[in-house]
Structure 1
Amino acid sequence: MSLSAYAHWQTAVLIASLFTAPAVLAHAHLKGQYPAADAVVTAAPQALTLDFSEGIEPKFSGISLTGAQQQIIRTGAVKRNENDQKQMIVPLEQPLTPGNYTVTWHVVSVDGHKTSGLYHFAVK
């Protein structure tokens, strides 16, 4: 391969990588939440708030909240903050008693990518 052909090949690879890199970064990753992951709170929350890196589609997003004995805690409908399309708010339909909780979440970002995860917190 001549030097000129090799330089053209390297340029083509570089250009291709520039166009594919944004697609990898376009997923809605969890950036923060309340209660925070691994937090111990003294006041039971009335809602869960999850902040993402991308805007989310609330109709295709949700959470499951379970207690220490794997009992399901009832939640209200997922809402997106009217002022921040990256923030999901989920009201709790029953008060949380002291104990450990697991939040399992899934979201679809506004560009159609799906992500999911889980975290834990405790109420003292």
Structure 2
Amino acid sequence: MRPVEQYRAASIAVLAGWLSRHPDEETRWRLIAEFLEEHRHEPREERLRLLSPEPPSVGDSRWDVFLAALAEHLAAKDGQAGPAWAETRRLRQFWFPFNTPAARVDAFVHSPASFRRRGVFIHPQELEVA
């Protein structure tokens, strides 16, 4: 009989690996939603541990910066600073992942600080899991 493997929530580094293997946007957003769902059910200490390993590049600087902003955003929700690896990741040109005129305005106004300061504009609702 094989030993039963214990469930482990994915780290942000594991998420980066998933994103690099799935370049289509729809799948990437589903993977992010799955990560967020797993993350929110973990104890606080574990949530912070899941953000600490520096993720490898996804192969697209926009998504690499998105992961840094996400890590800082999630850490801040737990009253902590983001991981050190996230500090240097920034875009030179703004990115609106949901790029319709209405979504751009909404994201520009409401984007969380960790995303906005890196040049990624996303409405906080896009980071919520039902």
Instruction: Provide the TM-score with structure 2 as the length reference.
Output: 0.22
Higher RCO, 1 or 2 (CA under 8 Å, sep at least 6)?
A: 1
User: Between Structure 1 and Structure 2, which shows a larger proportion of helix residues?
Assistant: 2
Report the TM-score when normalising by structure 1.
0.23
